[in-house]
Structure 1
Amino acid sequence: MLNVLEQAACAVEQKNWSLLNQCLQQLPVKRNSAGAPGGEQQALPDINLLLTLALEILETGDFHQRWEVAKVFPRLGSFAIAPLVAILADEAEEDRELRWFAARILGDFHNPEAIAALVDVLKTNHSEDLTAMAAAALASLGASSKNATAFRLAIDALTDMLERDETRSLAVKALSHIRHSETITPLLSVIRDKEVAVRTTAIEALASFHDDRIPPVLLDALKDTAAPVRREATIGLGFRAQLQEELELVAQLTKQLWDLNLEVCHAAAIALGRMGTDAAADALFAVLRKGTAPLSLQVQIVRSLGWIETPKALIYLQKAIAQRNRSPVSKKDGSNGRRGDGESFSTTFTASPLSLVTASSSRPMPNNPGDIDLVCQEIIAVLGRVEKPDVVRLAAKILLDGLNSNYPTIQHPRLKQALATSLGHLKDPAAIDSLIQMLADGDEGVKWHAIAALKKFSGVAPKLEALVANHNLTPALKQGIAIALENLRF
C-alpha cells in the first residue's frame, strides 16, 4: 500500500491525473461504518490523504478524469460529504462542470446532509444542468437508499417543493424517478396542475404503479386537454390488460384511437394490441379499413393486429391486403397516406373525428409501379412472425393466397422477397411448391430469398432433383432449381 501511495504522490507532483486515478482505485478503504469509532479513527490518515488526492483530480482534471474519480468518493464515507457540499454551494465557482459532478457524487451518499445540499440547489440555483443533476441525484438517492431516515427526508423535501411554482416541475421529475409507493400520494396532488409538463410527468410515473388509486386517475386523464397527458394515460392503461373487463378498456382505448393527435392514436393502437382480444382487433381494423389514417398509424395497427395473433386478427390482415388492391386513389390521397409522423388527424385530413368516420373509404395505393405499399409490406412481415401453433397455418395460407391472387402491390420485388422470407419463418410445408415457383422469378433477389426460405424445410432437395427431370419446365425455372440445388448442398 505504501508503494501505491508513493506513486500517487509522484502523480500529483507531475499532475498526471490518469495515473493518480489508477492509484486511488487500488487503495483499499476499510471502515466499520461512516463516523463509527474505532475502525474509522484508525483509517483517518489514509482517508484524509485519499480525499485530498481525489479532490485534486475533481477540481483540476478533465471530464473523463472527473468521471473516474467520482467512483472513489463513496468509498470514503461521510468524510467526503463536507467538501462536496462546499463545492456545490459555492455560487462563485465558475466551473459549472465541477459543481455538476459534486451534485452527482452526493447522490451516492445516504446522508441527510447530502440531501439537504441537493434540495438547496433545487430551491436556489438557476442553472438548468445543475438543477437537473440535483433532481436526478435526489431521485437516485431515494430509490436506492438503505437509510430510512434519509429516504423519508428526500420524499418530504420533494413533496414540500411541489407546493411552490418555481420548484414544482423539478420536484415532480425527481419523484417520478424514485418509483417507490411513497411517491404516489405527492404525485396524485399534481395530476390537475396548470402546467402540462407537470401533469404529464405525474401521470407517466403513476402509471408504473399497481395501486387501486391509479386506474381511475388514468381513465380521467384520457379526457385531458393536453395530448401528452392523454398519451401517457393511454400507455399506462395498455399495461392493465387484466382490468380490461372491469374498466371497459377496449371501449376507452378505441376513443383514443380516433384522437386528433397522432401520438395518442399510436399509443392507443399499441395499447389495444396488448389487450389481445378480438374486440380490440375489431377496433383496430375499423381504422385500417377506412384507409384514411396516416401511414405510420396504419403500420402500427398492422403490428398490433399481429400481436393479438387470433384467427380473427389475422383474417383482418388478409382483408386489409385485399382492400389495398381494390381501387387506386388520387395522387393527393396517396400522399396523405404517407404523412403523419408527429401530425394530428386534424392537420392531415379533417377537423373532427366525426368527419374521419364518414371519410372516403378509398385505399391508399402506390402511385406508380416503382412505389412500395408499406402497409402490405408490414402485413407480410407481421404474418411471418406468427408463433402460436394454431394460427401458423392460417398465416401461411393468407400469404400464399396473396401471392397466388396476383395482387398488384405484391408484385413488387421487395414485397415478394419479404413474402418468401415470411413463408420460410413459418415453415408450413404447404408453402414449398409456391417457393419453388418463385425460383423462376425475373428478379434475382426474389430467387435468393426463395432459396433461403427453402433451406428451412427438410426434404426439399429430393423434390427439386425430381423436378429437374421434368421436360415441361420453363428455362427460367430449370435454372432457378439448378441454383437452388447447388446452394442446398451446403
Structure 2
Amino acid sequence: MTFSSSYSGSYTAAASEPLPLSLETALESLQSEDFAHRWDAAKVIKRYGELAIAPLLNLLQEADDDDDLMWFIVRTLGEIAHPLALQALIQILQSTHADDIRQASATALAQHPEAVLPQLELLLKDKQGRSHAILVLVQMHHPNALPLLLSLANEADTAIRVLAVEALSYSHDPIVLPILKQALTDPIAAIRRAAVAGLSIWKDDQAPKDLVALIAPLLRDLNLEVCRQAILTLGRLGHEVAIVPLDEVLRSPYTPDSLRPDVIRSLSWIDHPAALDCLWRELSTTAAPAIAQEIIAILGRLTAAHLHPTANQILLEALQSHNAVLKTTEVRRAIAHSLGQLRQPNALQHLIHLLLDGDRSVQLHALAALRNWPTASLNEAIQYLRQQVQVSSSLETELNQLLAE
C-alpha cells in the first residue's frame, strides 16, 4: 500500500527522529505472528499518539501480504485518534484493495464522527469517493450523519442507495419514516428488504395496524428474501394484529417450504393465544417432520409464562394425535424435551408414560425431562406407574437413580 508523496511528506521529519526504545520494541512485536504479542504491542504503541503515526504508516507500506498486521495498524491508528491518524485512515480507505482493511478503516473512522464528518462530506462530492464515504457513514450512528445519509437515499448508484437505506433504517428520526415508506416500492429488492426491516424499530411510535398495513403487501413480494424479511418484521412487532397476515401465509399452499419456519418463529414471538392456535393447527395437519419438530421446539422455548399452559396442552394433544408425522420417534423425543422445559404439572404423568415407549431414545429424553420436576412429585408419579405396570429391572434402576438425584 502506498501513500501520495504530499501526504507522506507530513511525516518525514517525525520519521527521521529516533524513536523511544519501548516504541521500537512494540513495533517489532507488532510484526510477530503471535496474536497476543501483537495485541499487547498495539496497546503500547497507541500511548505514543502522534509519534507512532509515521512508523505505523511506514510499516503499513511493507505489510501488503500480511492482512493481520494491516488490521492491527489500522485499528491502532483509529485508537490514536489524532487528526493525522484519522487523515491517514481516510487515505487507507481510498487506496486499499483489501475489503477487510477497507472495512476496518471505515469502522475506525466511524468512532470519531465529529472529527471526520467534514472530510466525509468532501468525499461525497467526489464520484469515486462516495462509495468509500458511505462505508463510514453506515456505521456512524450520529445525528450529524443523518443529513448526509438522506442525501444518498435517492442515489443513482444502486449499491450506495442500498447502504444508505440500510443505515437510515436504524435511525429513529421522524424524517426517516417517509423515506422507508417510499423504499418499500423500490424496484431494487435489497432496498425493499432494508426498508421493511427498518420499520420494526417504529413499533413503539406508530399504530401497529398502520405498520402491518405497510408490511403485509411485501409478504407477496416476488423476491423471497423480501418476503422473509416481511415475515420476520411482522413477528418483531409482537402485536396480535400481525397474526392474521402471518397465518394467511402459513395456510397458503403457495408458500415455499423454505419460508414456513420463519412464519412459525414469527408467530411464536407474538405473545398471544391466537398465535399458538395457528401453530397447533399447523402442527396437527403438517406432513413435514421438520416443521413439526420446529413447532414443538419453539413451544418448549416460549418465554411468556402465561402461554406455558396452552403450549403444554398443545404438546399433550400432539402425543394423542392421529397425524402420522407426530408419531415418529424424532417427534416423540422433541415432545418429551419440550414438556420438560415447560414443567407443567399435568405433563408429569405423560412423561412417566413415555418411559415405557418402545424406542430407547424416547425413554432417555423422557428421563432427562423428568429431572426438572421436584422429587416429591416424581416419587408419587413413579409409585403410580409401579402400580399400573410391571416395571423392568433396568427401568427400575433408572427410576431409583432419578429419585436419588
Scaled to the shorter chain, the TM-score interval is 0.7 to 0.9
- Kept in 2: contact 1:203–1:233 (CA 8 A): yes
1:397 shift after superposition: 1.2
1:100 shift after superposition: 5.6
Partner of residue 345, structure 2: 429
Relative to structure 1, the CA distance from residue 481 to residue 263 in structure 2 (aligned partners, 3 Å threshold; closer, same or farther) is same
Counterparts of 1:29-178 in structure 2 under 5 Å? 48-58=20-30, 61-62=32-33, 64=35, 65-85=37-57, 93=62, 95=64, 97=66, 101-124=72-95, 126=97, 128=99, 130-140=101-111, 142=112, 151-152=114-115, 154-178=116-140
Selected match of 1:255 from 217, 221, 236? 217
Q: Which segments of 5 or more consecutive residues in structure 1 lack a partner in the other structure?
A: 1-44, 144-150, 325-364, 367-372
Q: Which secondary structure state, in structure 1, belongs to the residue aligned with residue 283 of structure 2?
A: helix
When normalised by structure 2's length, the TM-score is: 0.85
Counterparts of 1:232-271 in structure 2 under 5 Å? 232-245=194-207, 248-271=210-233
Relative to structure 1, the CA distance from residue 106 to residue 94 in structure 2 (aligned partners, 3 Å threshold; closer, same or farther) is closer
1:461 aligns with 2:375: no
Comparing 193-202 with 422-431, greater Cα deviation is found at 193-202
- Kept in 1: contact 2:172–2:202 (CA 8 A): no
1:317 shift after superposition: 0.7
Relative to structure 1, the CA distance from residue 272 to residue 108 in structure 2 (aligned partners, 3 Å threshold; closer, same or farther) is same
- Kept in 2: contact 1:218–1:237 (CA 8 A): yes
1:107 shift after superposition: 1.4
Relative to structure 1, the CA distance from residue 73 to residue 281 in structure 2 (aligned partners, 3 Å threshold; closer, same or farther) is same
Relative to structure 1, the CA distance from residue 56 to residue 388 in structure 2 (aligned partners, 3 Å threshold; closer, same or farther) is closer
Relative to structure 1, the CA distance from residue 78 to residue 462 in structure 2 (aligned partners, 3 Å threshold; closer, same or farther) is same
1:185 aligns with 2:147: yes
1:374 shift after superposition: 0.9
Give distance in 1, aligned partners of 2:83 and 2:257.
53
The structure number with the bigger radius of gyration is 1
Give distance in 2, aligned partners of 1:447 and 1:246.
45
Partner of residue 420, structure 1: 336
Relative to structure 1, the CA distance from residue 488 to residue 57 in structure 2 (aligned partners, 3 Å threshold; closer, same or farther) is closer
1:482 aligns with 2:396: yes
Residues paired across the two proteins, number: 383
Q: What amino acid is aligned across from residue 235 of structure 1 in structure 2?
A: A
> Can you list the C-alpha shifts for 1:316-352, whole angstroms capped at 9, x where unaligned?
111112332xxxxxxxxxxxxxxxxxxxxxxxxxxxx
Partner of residue 283, structure 1: 245
Give distance in 1, aligned partners of 2:95 and 2:382.
78
Partner of residue 377, structure 1: 293
Relative to structure 1, the CA distance from residue 375 to residue 46 in structure 2 (aligned partners, 3 Å threshold; closer, same or farther) is same
Give distance in 2, aligned partners of 1:187 and 1:224.
17
Q: What amino acid is aligned across from residue 46 of structure 2 in structure 1?
A: P
Give distance in 2, aligned partners of 1:99 and 1:435.
58
Give distance in 2, aligned partners of 1:196 and 1:139.
22
> Can you list the C-alpha shifts for 1:88-145, whole angstroms capped at 9, x where unaligned?
5x6xx574546665433221222222222222334455555554443333223x15xx
Q: Which segments of 5 or more consecutive residues in structure 2 lack a partner in the other structure?
A: 1-16
Relative to structure 1, the CA distance from residue 464 to residue 246 in structure 2 (aligned partners, 3 Å threshold; closer, same or farther) is closer
Relative to structure 1, the CA distance from residue 139 to residue 479 in structure 2 (aligned partners, 3 Å threshold; closer, same or farther) is same
1:166 shift after superposition: 1.6
Give distance in 2, aligned partners of 1:323 and 1:127.
52
Give distance in 1, aligned partners of 2:297 and 2:103.
42
Q: What amino acid is aligned across from residue 50 of structure 2 in structure 1?
A: S
